[in-house]
Structures are given as C-alpha cells and as structure tokens.
Amino acid sequence: MAAETAAYDIADPDQQRIALVVAAPHSGNLYPPDFVAASRLDPVSLRRSEDCFVDELLSGAPGAGAPLIRALFPRAYVDVNREPFELDPRMFEDSLPAYVTTRSPRVSAGLGTIARIVANGQEIYTGKLRFAEALNRINGCYRPYHRALDALVRRTRERFGICVLLDAHSMPSAGTGIDWEGGRSRIDIVLGDCHGTSCAPELTAELESLFVAFGYTVARNEPYPGGFTTRHHGRPSDGVHALQIEVNRSLYMNEATLERNEHFPVLARQMTAIVEAAGRLANRLGAS
C-alpha cells in the first residue's frame, strides 16, 4: 500500500468539459493484510466505517465530463478527510512529535487520521501502534491521494478559471444524531458547505433543489458541515468551491449485509444528474 499507484485511482473523461472534480475518499476497500491481522475486528466489522459503493454511485462523472478520484485504501486504515496528523497519543507506544495534533474533536471521538474505532464505536486494534506505522500510512496513502486531488483541482482551476469540488460520502441511517423516526434518520442527504463559507450559495441551493425534486429530504451542515477536504479546498474568493455530500446508506444498500439494494441504479442515475447540474453551474460561475 506504500506505492502511490496503489493509493488512489482517477477516472478521467476523454475531455474535461465541466469545471468540476468529484472525489470519493472513503469508499476504498483494499484492506492490507497486516492491518487486518492487527485488528481485533473481523473484516465485515472493519468495513462499518467504509462509504461502501459511493465511488460506484458517482461512476457517471467521467461520462458527464468530470474526473473522479477515489481512494483505494479504507478509511479505517487512514482517513484523508482529516488533517495529516490528527493522532490520539493513547494509541501509540512511543511519544508523538510536537507537530502532531493530539487534541481535536475528531481525535477525542476516536476518529483521527488513524482511527481508534470504527463507525459503530468498536475498538480496532488489539495493541498499541508505533508512530512509524502512522507515518508510513500518511506518506504512502494520505499524501499521494491529496497530491493527486490538489493537481486535479489546480488543473481544473487553470483551465476553466474556476473549480467546483464535490466530496462524496455516505452516512449510516442510524446513530447520526439527526432527525430520527423509529431509530432511523429521516434525512436522506446532508450538504456541507462549512456553513456557507466553502462554496457559492447558489451551488448548495441548486443541488438541494434537485435532490428535493428527486424526492429526498435534505439538511444543510448538520451534523456534517464538511471535513478537512471541504475546509482546505473551499476558497470561493480564489475560484475554488467545495461542497460535501453525505448520502444515507439505507437509500442504496443493505447496511447489515453490505450489499446494494434495488434502489441503487436509480440513485446512481440521479447522482449523475447531480454531477451534470453542478458542472453546468460551475461553468456559469467561471464565465461570469
């Protein structure tokens, strides 16, 4: 997993026609054997943090004229939607360098750059790690992914004068802390624009309207305002707009068996329409 070619994949269109980049950072499912061996969890339990099939839901992006980048490694191994060094010192047997961020809401929750738990709260590891292991994962996976994403955003910005980045994720149907009904979230989609700071307001509004037209319930910024990627890239004054999209997993998969459900192809077509709409707006913004 150390080689950059194993860290990510980019599906480029034949010709990029829209000022849009689509990212699926948490759908990777290549679990290194040594990572699985060091875990107290079985492979299915490890996958509870995975945004299963989100890359497939967005697979229409290249056909719409936008590149799609996806991480191949799992979020439980290293999380690219965090700062590069958000680490819990309790997870390590040796001392951490002074530049490491050891206190943040993500670290406290057990979900730093190297996670301590999977999404349902189960501890991942049987023992403590060494910092060298975290450094290997960050240098071998995290940094290559972000270098590639940065290059796509920069290329798009230079070509079109603007870049819109859609950072695509999924959320469990229960345990999100948002509007519940019968133990399950009634929210289908959460759009995170860092409370209106990471992208043009018309982008959030237009995609929200389209999701509502498809029959989905949509929330903004609660409980997901946008992670590191949205905050880092979202600089509208510099011509880069970033929006995080969270999709309720129960819409397209069986969360117990981790299998696609009958609505999957419908949602995939609708996500392609979302990409196309975002691309049209991006091009209009770039021309204005």
The DSSP call for residue 48 is G
3-state SS of 218-284 is EEECCCCCCCHHHHHHCEHHHCEEEEEEEEEHHHCEECCCCEECCCHHHHHHHHHHHHHHHHHHHHH
* pLDDT at residue 207 in the model: 98
Structural domains present in the chain: 4-287 (3.40.630.40)
Beta bridge partners of 243: 166
Q: End-to-end alpha-carbon separation of the chain, Å?
A: 43
DSSP 4: G
Does residue 134 contact residue 87 with C-beta atoms inside 8 Å? yes
Cis omega (within 30 of 0) for bond into 225: no
Predicted model pTM: 0.93
CA 77, CA 47: separation in Å to the nearest integer? 10
Using DSSP, state whether 140 is helix, strand or coil: helix
Residue 121 three-state SS: coil
Structure tokens at 273: 């329409």
Beta carbons of 164 and 23 less than 8 angstroms apart: no
What is the torsional sign of CA 143, 156, 211, 220?
Answer: positive
Q: Which pLDDT does position 175 carry in this prediction?
A: 59
Residues of the chain with pLDDT under 50: 1-5, 180, 182-184
Structure confidence at residue 186 (pLDDT): 83
Confirm if 106 and 86 have CB atoms less than 8 A apart.
Answer: yes
